[in-house]
Amino acid sequence: MIKSLLMRKAILLLDLGNTHLNWGLCDSASLQIFDTGKVADQAWSDLISATGQLANIQVSIEEIWLCSVAKSTIKESLLSWVTLVDRPIYQARTGQRFNKLVNSYDNYAQLGIDRWLGLVALTTDYGYPALLIDAGSAMTLDYVDAGAVYQGGWIVPGIGKSRQCLSQQTSLLVPDSPLPNSLCIAKNTTAGITAGLLAAAVGTIAQFERQIDKQTEVCKVITGGEGPLLLKYLNSDWQYDPHLVLKGLALYAQANKLVSRNN
């Protein structure tokens, strides 16, 4: 069978954390993300087979864009491997402004790039004022006001990390069982731990919402791996967007690639 010679031009988007790598394939022209996945435990070679980067003639990756909040050793490991792919590689950096979005962090560069890209996609796709929860290994909570000014946020351990901390720092037998379907008062230790972890996360979100000016309607979006679990316990005005950081990285790539190529 003769394969089509028409190849879809794409950008490979990489969102690297300390425990796993999220990847996406983005149409170069439309910025539509048409394929996504996850690579765990630094098994970077799985990325090639997952994306079809070399094997699939219908997808031609033009360049690679990286967003990383991982430890330097993990990041360098990925970069060393990705150089073998022989495509241009660019890294996203937190900025002071993106279109109308303004970063008012005390030191703007200290805002995590994953949080910045999430805010870029949030304000572009959903508008403002807006609340953003990224529920991953750490849960971050961020607020953009009605003038598109990022006002700051909170950082707390995610449910998984809190569970891990209890296991390592106490004599409790912390279960790996799924979290409960309700926030009822528990009558055994296992249920008490799982319900308590969930209640802590939900309560943090509720408290963060109380800090926001209620005079205008606020858009509320949650992302991250623990997002679907938490969404069940939040008000119906919250929306879940699983690929918000990758979307922000695609927007950043489109806005910055001409600058990057000239530097």
pLDDT of 4 reads 45
pLDDT of 61 reads 85
pLDDT of 261 reads 46
Name the token pair of 98: 């993106």
Q: For each successive 10 residues of the chain (263 residues), what is the average pLDDT?
A: 59 90 89 87 79 61 92 90 86 96 96 97 97 94 96 92 67 59 77 84 95 84 93 93 96 76 43
pTM of the predicted structure, to 2 decimals: 0.88
Active-site residue, selected from the candidate residues 35, 41, 106, 114: 114
Distance (Å, whole) CA 140 – CA 154: 6
- Phi-psi domain of 224 (left: phi exceeds 0; alpha: psi -120 through 50; beta: other): left
pLDDT of 172 reads 62
Q: Are 248 and 118 in contact (CB under 8 A)?
A: yes
Q: What is the pLDDT of residues 194-222, one digit of tens each?
A: 888 889 999 999 999 999 877 678 999 99
114 is catalytic: yes
Burial 5-39 (b: 16+ CB within 10 A, else e): eeeeebbbbbbbbebbbbbbbbebeeeebeebeeb
pLDDT of 85 reads 78
- Domains identified in the chain and CATH numbers: 8-91 (3.30.420.40), 97-248 (3.30.420.40)
